[in-house]
Amino acid sequence: MSRWEPNTRERLLDAALELFGERGYDSVTVAEIAERAGLTKRTFFRHFTDKREVLFAGQEFLSRVFADAIAAAPGSASPAAAVGRALAAAAAAAGFGPERQARGRRIRAVVADHPDLHERELLKRATLNAAMAGALRERGVPDPAAGLAAEIGGLAFSTAFRRWTEPGNEREFATLAAEALEELLAATAALG
């Protein structure tokens, strides 16, 4: 087994997505994912707690990127502008290129077919929102504004991801995220 090759996490993700596509999510075991990737089950558990986590990897990284970008925003930036910077930073740091887009489409298909995975997806979004809200509070943004700006940012991120992974989409993730944020802010203002 070639367990010391680079890109272990990506290899595990690709193996999982192949198996989920062939046999369905419920029929696949962690041992089978590791074997398909040419790795051991022990190596799998060094990277993921269970097979669900393969589909939702990167949450800690994105939370850190969001929080750091909000913290680095100019002091004069509004909460919405700071969240916009966080979305742009995530788009740049997470490598939303063609390979990731293909994986994203496959992940969306698996999650769409399993209601229990919807719960995990919502938990991931809540964690990202909490990171943004915490960073906004550290900037002195009071609640409920910090929480609301973070929720809008999380919804913009999710909306952009959904649009980015739609078949036929060729637009950049960063553009879609900025547009989604703008649409949501306009909708919020229209609630007036």
The residue among 95 and 43 whose pLDDT is bigger is 43
Spans of all domains in the chain? 8-50, 56-190
Number of residues written out for the chain: 192
What are the pLDDT digits (tens) for 71-128? Answer: 999 999 999 999 999 999 999 998 888 888 989 999 999 999 888 899 999 999 999 9
- φ, ψ dihedrals at 140, nearest 5°: 100, 5
Looking at residue 98, its pLDDT comes to 84
Architecture per CATH, domain 8-50, reads as Orthogonal Bundle (1.10)
Classify residue 152 as exposed, middle or buried by CB count within 10 Å of its CB (0-12, 13-18, 19+): buried
Which DSSP helix (H) or strand (E) runs through 78? none
Domain 8-50 and domain 56-190 have a common topology: no
Place of tokens 């994986």: 103
Identify the sign of the CA torsion 20, 22, 26, 28: negative
What are the pLDDT digits (tens) for 153-180? Answer: 999 999 999 999 999 999 999 999 999 9
Classify residue 63 as exposed, middle or buried by CB count within 10 Å of its CB (0-12, 13-18, 19+): buried
Looking at residue 94, its pLDDT comes to 84
Under the banding of pLDDT at 50, 70 and 90, the label for residue 1 is very low
CA distances from 131 to 8, 34, 140 (A): 27, 31, 15
| The domain made up of 56-190 is a member of CATH 1.20.1600.10 | no
CA distance 155 to 132: 12
Nearest to 14 by CA among 47, 37, 35, 45: 37
Under the banding of pLDDT at 50, 70 and 90, the label for residue 60 is confident
Under the banding of pLDDT at 50, 70 and 90, the label for residue 4 is low
Q: b or e along 71-96 (b: 16 or more beta carbons within 10 Å of the residue's beta carbon)?
A: eebeeeeebbebbbbbbbbbbeeeeb
